[in-house]
Amino acid sequence: MRLKNKVSIVTGAGRGIGEIVSIYLANEGADVVVSDINLDAVTQTAEKIKALGRRSLAIKADVTKSSDVEQMVSSTMKEFGRIDILFNNAGIVIFKPLVDLKEEEWDAVINVSLKGTFLCSKAVAKIMINQKSGKIINMSSGAGKIGDKLYVSYSAAKAGVIGFTQALAKELGPYKINVNAVCPSIIHTKMMEKLDKEVGEIEGVPEGKVYERFIKNIPIGRKGTPEDVAKLVAFLASSDADYMTGQAINIGGGLIMS
């Protein structure tokens, strides 16, 4: 087990990629603090982790609020005494043409994906600097590299995450803290089902056609799974990735290659 006795925090862990990554880290030996705005969902994730024989703590937290983030980190330190891994996974997406996108919708997407990553990283970095070790892994997206129509706010937020990752990697490198980003493309989650439905409605195409269009352009020939992402996150969280930092790594079957 590559992460035996490591302590990790995963945000947005109530479902989808966050849930699967949390369980995967536990399978690799980590104790996992799972947070989400949905306490019921994240409590279920914590129970699955405990069933694997690892310790877990479920915390309700809004990553856009510094008070919630500080409480999450404080509770983790009180329970476990250290933080080795942070996976900034929390994010939302709104699919709309720019001219229809409301200011508050733009703010909501930017705040969760980008501000949330900033607040959580800042709080955890203080701990990791004292430890002189740690792994911070940020959830970006293929949309942060190439952008796409109908989700300008999401593309902007995820591009910001990449820039933040690179800057923070340089800042924290001297403390033996690695900072990297993962950039999934078409991963089968509720978010991608939302993309297929809502973008299809805007474009006037039947359900399934948006998904189909994307998959046609994937060299591997299939949509990804949360498990595909979890394997990459676990690698970046482990000592196998000690010489990697400041990277924004594509995980999308070859859909994006730069």
List active site positions. 154
Listed residue (50, 44, 53, 45) closest to 1, CA to CA: 53
Residues 6+ apart with CB under 8 A from 98: 152
Q: How far apart are CA 55 and CA 25, in angstroms?
A: 12
Q: How far apart are CA 156 and CA 52, in angstroms?
A: 38
Give the DSSP H or E segment for 182: strand 177-184
First to last CA, the chain: 31
Edge-first strand order for the sheet with 134-139 is 56-60, 31-36, 7-10, 85-88, 134-139, 177-184, 248-251
Q: Cα 142 vs. chain centroid, distance in angstroms? A: 13
> What SS3 state is found at 250?
strand
Helix/strand/coil percentages in the chain, nearest 5 = 55, 15, 30
